[in-house]
Chains A and B, each alone.
Chain A
């Protein structure tokens, strides 16, 4: 009897896991990101400019969970990564965190490092340029690229860059 209960429990757990992993909206979102760039292994430098938390969302079987993540570029007109930029986040509850970008321009924070209460304010510092201050705020999504997509237009400010005049688009 005890064995039966254990097997039943395992089966129910597997069924639950399967049900959780079958989210067509999530799957479509992941598919829309396309394949990995050839020559860039999965890891801190992969998929710059993409909405990180589509995959790094903490769901069952996902890669490491991020709460805030994105890519910072140097210029408005090209995709040169801003290596070594400091991203400062200020949560609505007064807490804050900073993260540094790597050679791909990527930065990311885990839930253990920072879990923001929205709305969240963002600034970016980069040596030799003025501090970039986000004009609005982040309302609910920790992926920069959820809103900052290229090309810039009525629904997007374009990719995040560190402007010379200190004001983000």
Chain B
């Protein structure tokens, strides 16, 4: 075999090899593209009760939802509220201009999703355990100051704020504690 034919064959076989690799990659990609999780294979969150969330939302709006804290749209645990970030303009659908100073149901719903979606697996665990160990949640460790929190320490163990949130997590929502907590921070 001459040197020339050797190189010609060699470059031809390398081209074929490259083509084969490309085909294999395409097949792999298409197999992966079709390999979506089954619709029944999703994580289901055992979320706390949304119907009793309103007083908790009010407390969180007041304590955590100022515009320079969790009322900032770029921050996690985004919280909407009448004294902070609004979901819509006054006069828009769902926010009547007759009551511009009230938090809307849509805003409360967003707050619920923020709280539940912050650590969904841990939230499920806490709810399943009846909130026997609520400090699994960053939601509580941060305001308690047991985890670094730029907003500082806002809650103390056993205060009305803690009772408000943990009772809700335990499906025994204590609206009175929420109200006392809210009133003490007016």
Asked if A and B bind, the verdict is yes
| A residues lining the B interface (CB < 8 Å) | 117-119, 135-141, 146-147, 153-157
Chain B, interface size: which category?
20 to 34
Q: In the complex, what distance in Å separates the CA atom of A140 from the CA atom of B73?
A: 15
State whether the Cβ of B4 lies closer than 8 Å to any Cβ in chain A: no
Pairwise interchain contact B69-A135, C-beta atoms closer than 8 A:
no
Q: Give the residue of A140, A146, A154 whose beta carbon is less than 8 angstroms from that of B85.
A: A154
Q: Quick one: closest A residue to B63, CB to CB?
A: A119
Indicate if the CB atoms of B68 and A154 lie closer than 8 Å. Answer: no
CB distance from B93 to the nearest CB of A (A): 14
CB distance from A159 to the nearest CB of B (A): 13
Tell me the interface secondary structure of chain B in the complex.
Answer: loop
Contact A119 B66 (CB under 8 A): yes
Q: Is there contact, CB below 8 Å, between A139 and B69?
A: yes
Report the minimum CB–CB distance from B50 to chain A (whole Å): 23
With A118-B152, A140-B151 already in contact, the answer to whether A155 and B85 are too (CB < 8 A) is yes
The answer to whether A147 touches B67, judged by C-beta atoms less than 8 angstroms apart, is yes
Give chain A's interface secondary structure class. Answer: loop
B86 A118 Cβ-Cβ under 8 A: no
User: Is A118 within 8 A of B151, CB to CB?
Assistant: yes
Taken together as a complex, chains A and B put the C-alpha atoms of A134 and B52 apart, in Å, by: 29
Contact with A along B43-81 (1 / 0, CB 8 A): 000000000000000000011111111011100000000
Q: Give the residue name and chain of the A residue nearest to B80 (CB).
A: A154
Q: Is there contact, CB below 8 Å, between A140 and B68?
A: yes
- Residue in A117, A146, A153 whose CB lies within 8 Å of B68: A146
Contacts A139-B66, A139-B69, A156-B67 known; A117 to B86 CB distance under 8 Å?
A: no
Q: Is the CB of B66 within 8 A of A136?
A: yes
Judging by beta carbons under 8 Å apart, are B83 and A154 in contact? no
